[in-house]
A = this chain, B = another copy of it.
Amino acid sequence: MKKIAAVESFFSPEHRVTLEKTAAECGFSVDYYPEGHLPADRAAEYEVIYGLCPPDELKAAANLKWFCCSFAGVDAYMNEDIYPSKDVMLSNSSGAYGITISEHILMVTLMMLRQMPKFEEIVRAREWEKGLSMRSICGSSITVLGTGDIGTNFARRAKALGAKVVRGVRRTKKAGDPAYDEMYTLEELDSILPETEILVMALPGTRDTAHILSRRRIGLLPQDAYVVNVGRGSAIDQEALVEALNEGRLAGAALDVCVPEPLPKEHPLWSAKNLLLTPHISGNMSLGITRDLDVALFCEDLRNYAAGRKLQRLVDRTLGY
């Protein structure tokens, strides 16, 4: 029987039942590596690997045909040299993170608009001060840069909260989800930045997205704009962002991702003004619904794989997503 290595710690007994049942139907058995490592002396047994197998452990899987990453962001798996062969397919778990990450975006956006970090500071000092100005998602102009599962889940929520306009920006012109009022290509981004009150970035880490929010583009945002980044830290010119924040040229930023991670203790990001920093937690696997979806998406693609159909979440390694 062909074999799957499930290299992940989060599987519940119910997840294992689902995995094993689907695997059996597809002619596979499943071995678990909950400690997150694939032993080199067993790696050659597996045709399929699912989970967060460290990039440097894939090479030993001489018979590997498909690696399904349990994360949505696969930039750590883009280097061709880590694979035993060019023909190994890479897929991701895009679709499992839309709910949890869009709730994170909503939370940090509201926290910034409603001055929550300042109110928390007031309460820590046991003061009772109320007079800080607030804004609302209702009536706001929002730009979502990266219109995949995460960006689109947020766009839907922002519309439900009464955003005035939600603009989606993507690499190429395609019909957008109805959650977006208007769709733009990357080439048109500069023209909408001056009207953007909240810029949400949910992009994969690729060559094309590096420093996409450049110093020049930061300068195009209005002074009262907020920036949220949940994709990859590399998408922002961090030095320019820190300067803009400290000089009050932006109202604030919420970064769940940065360069490098973890952030060194002396890094200027820690103390940037009006910066709401979180340690790359927006997609935390601890959310039950994320885990359930992750397993369901793998099983769906396992059926595709077994039937010889194209994988739903196949990653194009030349594009990076």
Contacts and interface: CB of A to CB of B under 8 A. Distances in A.
A284 B287 CA distance: 32
Contact of A286 (B103, B119, B134, B288): B134
A157 B157 CA distance: 8
Contacts of A278: 116, 119, 123
**Protomer copies:** 2
Nearest to A279: B128
B157 A103 contact: no
Contacts of A129: 279
A116 B276 CA distance: 11
A287 B160 contact: no
B161 A279 contact: no
Interface string A120-144: 1011001111111111111100000
Nearest to A267: B126
Given A132-B286, A139-B289, A107 B103 contact: no
Given A99-B138, A106-B110, A287-B134, A117 B119 contact: no
B279 A103 contact: no
B277 A123 contact: yes
A217 interface: no
Among the interface residues A103, A120, A270, A288, which one has the most CB atoms of the partner chain B within 10 A? A103
B287 A99 contact: no
Contact of A263 (B128, B161, B262, B265): B128
B287 A119 contact: no
A126 to B, nearest CB: 5
B122 A120 contact: no
A103 B135 CA distance: 10
A99 B286 contact: no
A36 interface: no
A106 B106 contact: yes
B99 A262 contact: no
Interface of A: 99-100, 103-104, 106-107, 110-111, 113-114, 116-117, 119-120, 122-123, 126-139, 156-157, 160-162, 261-263, 265, 270, 277-281, 284, 286-289
9 contacts: A106-B161, A107-B111, A122-B279, A123-B270, A130-B279, A132-B281, A134-B287, A139-B288, A156-B160
